[in-house]
Structure 1
Amino acid sequence: MNPVPAPNRRTDPVTVLEVLPRMDLAGETIRVVNLLRRLDPTEFRLLFCVTSGAPGSMDEEIRALGGEVYYCRADLRFPFAFRRLLRDVRPDIVHAGVAAFSGVVLAVARGSGVRRRVAHFFTTTDRRGDTVSGRLRRTAGRVLLDAFATDLLAVSEAAMRGQWRESWRLDSRCRVIYNGVELEPFGVAIAGQRPMPSLPELDEFGDVVTQPLTVLHIARPDPVKNRSRAVEIVATMCTRGFDARLRVVGRQSEEETKGLLTLARGLGVSDRVEFLGERGDVPKLLVNSSLLLVTSLREGLPSVVLEACAVGTPVLSSDLPGVAEIARVLPGITMLPLSTPNEIWASTAADLAIVPPTLDERREAMRRLRRSPFTMENWQRDITAVWSQPQPQPQP
C-alpha cells in the first residue's frame, strides 16, 4: 500500500525565477550560481530571466548545473514576453534584482498569479542617476513595488535606505541580507601562496630588491565603477616614484577599454596597465596583489571587498556606506572621499601596499571572515528562508 502524502505538503521542488540584468561574472550572479550548486534539486528549482536580452558568460555553466536562462529584454514588449514565460515555467516565486524595473517585473508576476514576489536591491541608487527621467522611473518603480512586492530585500542597510526609504524598518516586508563569500576557493588561494623570505632579497650590488606594487581593480564596464580614476591614481603613484602596476579585471567593452588606454598613454603609464578581462581565478589574483582599489561612485555591498578581506589583502575604497558597513565588522579597509586629490589616494595606496600580509595574517583574515555575517552559508540560509515561507494567500 502506497503512503498517502501529508495534506498541504509539497512533493515537488519550489520553482524560483530569478530576474537579473545579465549572467556575467559579477558579484550577484557569481553568488546565485554558487547557490545553484549548493541547492538540493528536490527542494528548489532555480531558473533565470535576463532583462538585457543578451547571453552572458555564465549561461552555459548554469545550464550544466540544471538551471536555465531565458531572455526577456526590458523594452515595451517585456510585459507580454514575461507573461508568456511565466505561463510556460509556472514559478512559485519571482525574485527580481533589476532596481526600479523590478516594479514592472513583480506587477506582471502578480497579474499572472505568482504569490511570492521578491524585490532585491543591490546598490544604493538607480544607475539612471538624478535625471528627470531617472527620478520618474524610480518613483513609478517604487509605487509598483509598494503595490505588488511581498518581500523587499537589500544587500545592506544603505541599499535599503537608498532604494526604498529611510523608514524601511517599519515595513514588515523589508529585510537586509548581507552578501556571502564562498570561502573554500579563497582558502585554497592562501594555502597556495609561497611563504615570504625571512631575509630581504638583495641584488648584485647588495641593495634590497623591491617588488612592484600590484594594484587590482575588479569591476564591470560601467561609468559607476569609475575605472578611469584607478588609472589616474596608479599614474600618480608612479609619478611619486613607486613601481606600481594596475591590473583591471572584469568584462570589457571596446569603447571603455579604448578610452582607458588613451588615458593611460596620456599619463605615461600605458605599459603599467593590464586588462585581464573576466577571470575565474579572482582568489589567486587577490592573494598575489598588493592592494584592492575600489573607486566606485556607488555600491550596495561590494562582494570584491569581502573577498579581499577573506585573504587579508588591504582595501582602499571610496567612502561608500556599504563598505563602511563591512568595515564595522572586518579590518583592513581604508576609505577616502572621491573628492580627495589623487596625490593623497596615491600616498595612502602606497602606505597600505608597501608591506604585504604574511601567510599567518592571511589565515587570520580568513578565520575572521568565517566568523562574520558575510559567509555563503549565512546568505544561503537567509535567502532560502524567504523562499520557504508559507505562500501568501491570493488577494481578491
Structure 2
Amino acid sequence: MTGQPHVFHLITRLIKGGAEAKTLATVQGLKNDYLFTVGYGAEYDLEPLNRLNEWGVETERFPLIRHYNPVTAVPAVVSLAQYLRREEFDIVHTHSTEAGIIGRFAAALAGVPNVVHTVHGVPFTEDRNDTLNRFVLACERRAAMYTDTIATNADVIAEEYLEEGIGRSGQYTTVYSGVDLDAFADATPADDLPGERPRVVMVGRLAEGKGHGVLLDAVESMGDFEGSVCIVGDGPLYGSLGSEIEERGLSDRVFLTGYRDDVPRILAASDVLVLPSFREGTPRVITEAMASGLPVVATDIAGIPEQVLDGENGYLVPTGDAAAVREGVGDLLRDSELRERMGERGLERVEEFSAEAMVGQLDGVYQELIGE
C-alpha cells in the first residue's frame, strides 16, 4: 500500500442524528491519517454535508439506498458494487441497518479487502413488525459473513447479536460513541429556553421509537409540578407532538423548541435529561448529559446501562413505563441535592466515552486490518 489508506464510510441517511455525528467525528479525528470518502443514501441534510465539504472530504450520494425500502435494495447493491470496484478502497466501513446490509453485500461483490460495520442500535425490537424483524435478522446474519470487524457501541449489543446467531465472537469489538467532553464542561447556559427551572430536557430526532408519548404520559400524570419540560429536536413527529401537547393541556409545561445547534448550552440550562426510547445503541445525548453534570432517566435497554448506573448517576426504567419515568423525574425535580450528587457521579465516569477514546479505538481497528 502506498500513500494514505483509502476508507469509504457508508451511512443510510446523512442527517442530524447520533449515528451521523459519530461518523463525522471519526472522519474529523482521522482525516489527517486516512483518505476518506463518505457515501450516503437518498435522505440527507445540508449541514453535515457542508461540514464534510469544508474538511475537504469527498462525498457520494446513492439515491437507491433508502430507509427500510426493500424494493430498491437489490439495485442499490449492484450500483454500489460497481462504484466500489472502480474506486479500489482499502476499507469499507458501513453504518446503520440499511447501509450496513447493502454496503457489505456490495463490498463482497466488489472484492473489497477489509470491511467494518458499526452497529449504532439494535434494529430488531419488540415495537417493530415481526416480519420485518425476521427479514432484518436474516440479512444481518448473512452480511456478518462478509464482515471483518463488527463494532458495537455497547458490550450488551454484541452479546445480543451473538445470541441471535449474527457472526462470531472474534469479529466483535466495543467502541463507545465518543463526545467532545470539553464542549459540554464549560458551556454557557442558554438564556432563551421556554419554561422555568428545574428544567427536564429530552434531546433527539422527533421520530417513532424515541418514546415521546411515554414522556407526555408521565408529565400528564404528575399534575402540577415545579419546573418545565423542553423537547429539543426536529423530525416527522413535530406537528403531531405539538398537537398532542395542546390537546392534553400541557402547553404551559411542555415546550417544543425545534432543532437547535447549541446542545451544550441547552444542557447547561437544564437539570434532568430524560430518554424513554424503545430502541437505542449507546446514545450520545446521555454521554453529553453526563459531561454536563446532569442526572439521567432513561430506559433499561441496549448500551444505556453501560452509561447510566441505576441509582448512581440516574434511573433506569422499563420501556413504555410512564409511571416509572414519572417517579424518577419526580424524585429528581423535588430534590436538588440528589440531582447534584447524581450529576457529579456522571462526571466521574464520563471519560471513557470521549471522542478521543472512540477515534483511537477505530484507528486501532483500521491499522489491524491493513497490517500497519
TM-score bracket for the superposition, by shorter chain length? 0.7 to 0.9
2:155 is aligned to: 157
Q: Does 1:346 align with 2:346?
A: no
Alpha-carbon offset, residue 122 of structure 1: 1.1
Paired residue for 1:252?
Answer: 235
Please tell me whether Structure 1 or Structure 2 has the larger radius of gyration of its CA atoms.
1
The answer as to whether partners of 2:13 and 2:40 remain within 8 angstroms in 1 is yes
Structure 1 segment 355-374 matched on structure 2, within 5 A: 355-356=335-336, 364=344, 368-369=348-349, 372-374=351-353
Instruction: Return the offset for 1:142.
Output: 1.3
Question: Helix, strand or coil for the counterpart of 2:363?
Answer: helix
Deviation at 1:364, TM superposition (A): 4.9
Equivalences for residues 190-339 of structure 1 within 5 A: 192=188, 211-237=196-222, 239=223, 241-253=224-236, 256-328=237-309, 331-339=312-320
Check the 8 A contact 2:10/2:99 in 1, yes or no: no
Aligned partner of 2:78: which letter?
Answer: F
Q: Give CA deviations for 1:113-159 in whole Å, capped at 9, x if unaligned.
A: 2100111111123379342243123213312322x111111111222
**Structure 2: where are the runs of 5+ without partners?**
66-71
**Cα distance between partner residues in 1 of 2:156 and 2:347:** 26
Do 2:52 and 2:59's aligned partners in 1 also have CA atoms closer than 8 Å?
yes
Q: TM-score scaled by structure 2?
A: 0.85
The answer as to whether partners of 2:123 and 2:136 remain within 8 angstroms in 1 is no
| Aligned mates of 2:271, 2:49 — CA distance in 1 | 32
TM superposition score normalised by structure 1: 0.81
Matched, 1:131 2:130: yes
Question: Alpha-carbon deviations, 1:92-131, whole Å to 9, x = none?
Answer: 1111112265233112112212100111111123379342
Pair 1:144–1:33, CA change in 2 (3 A)? closer
Matched, 1:381 2:360: yes
1:96: which partner in 2?
94
Distance 1:62 1:260, change over 3 A: same
Q: Is the 8 A contact 1:251 1:277 kept in 2?
A: yes
RMSD, aligned CA: 3.0
Conserved 8 A contact 2:140-2:166: no
Displacement of 1:170 after TM fit?
A: 5.6
The percent of aligned pairs where both chains have the same amino acid is 20
Q: Distance in 2 between matches of 1:20 and 1:338?
A: 27
Give distance in 2, aligned partners of 1:304 and 1:152. 23
Asked if the contact 1:121–1:163 (Cα under 8 Å) also holds between the matched residues in 2, the reply is: no
Map 1:99-178 → 2, pairs under 5 A: 99=97, 102-126=100-124, 129-146=128-145, 148-165=146-163, 171-178=169-176
Gaps of 5+ in 1: 1-9, 195-209
